[in-house]
Amino acid sequence: TLGAALGLARHAGYWYGYIDTDHGGTTTMTPDVINDDTQLAKAVTDCGSGDQCLHITFDLGDGYAYPFAGVGFNLLDAGESVDLSSMTKFTFRAKGTGTLRFKFMTSKVTDGYPKGSNWGDMGVDIKLTSEWKTYVIEPKDILPQAYSAQATDKLTWNDCKDKVQKIHLATGTAMT
């Protein structure tokens, strides 16, 4: 499990989805894990290596200038953090179209910036391929979201790595 891989004695996190409809957007997610968490089981599939993966399709709509969608999970209970200072890399498998932003949600960003300016989470943009591929994220590549207050402040992974609360897989372009 992810909890064991991160060296956690326990893990209480749960998966959830989000899309831009609260901002007037028309993005959809299949299966709909936002309004019906029982749909999450339908999204589990083989990821080409015999392991189980999550398969969710986002169809970005219009109505909002910056359409978005994503899935994420708390590493522990809501509000609790994990120290990833000793992380040397993070490896996962994915496939799809478009660009995936793999985000580490940290208390430094979420709680350290005013609401409305706390969206520049630390992460890596990954160009997906149509075949299953193993991606490796190294700490040196983890940067704040472009054009955010965190990027302007030149926030680094070293500033945030000791209090990671969630992981999000998000997109700003169409992907599956």
pLDDT at 154: 97
pLDDT at 37: 64
Which pTM was predicted? 0.83
pLDDT at 15: 78
> How many CA atoms within 13 Å lie on the side-chain side of 12?
8
- Which is nearest to 164 in space by CA: 94, 88, 111? 111
pLDDT at 107: 95
User: Could you tell me how far CA 88 lies from the centroid of its own chain?
Assistant: 18
- The position carrying tokens 């409305």 is 116
Show the tokens assigned to 22.
């609260």
Over range 16-39, report the average pLDDT. Answer: 82
Q: Is residue 41 pLDDT above 90, yes or no?
A: no
Mean pLDDT (the chain, rounded) = 84
Cis status, amide bond into 31, omega within 30 of 0: yes
Q: Are 112 and 121 in contact (CB under 8 A)?
A: no
What's the rounded Cα separation, in Å, for the pair 113 and 107? 9
Task: Phi first, then psi: give them for residue 95, nearest 5 degrees.
Answer: -150, 160
pLDDT band at 141 (very low <50, low <70, confident <90, very high): very high
> How many CA atoms within 13 Å lie on the side-chain side of 117?
9
User: Could you tell me how far CA 175 lies from the centroid of its own chain?
Assistant: 14
Beta-sheet strands, E only, within the chain? 15-19, 28-30, 44-46, 52-54, 57-59, 69-74, 90-94, 99-106, 122-127, 133-137, 143-144, 164-171
User: Could you tell me how far CA 171 lies from the centroid of its own chain?
Assistant: 9
pLDDT in tens, 108-127: 999 999 999 999 999 999 99
What's the rounded Cα separation, in Å, for the pair 138 and 136? 6
pLDDT at 147: 93
Over range 94-111, report the average pLDDT. Answer: 91
Sequence-separated (6 or more) residues with CB below 8 Å from residue 7:
none
pLDDT at 1: 41
Over range 58-65, report the average pLDDT. Answer: 86
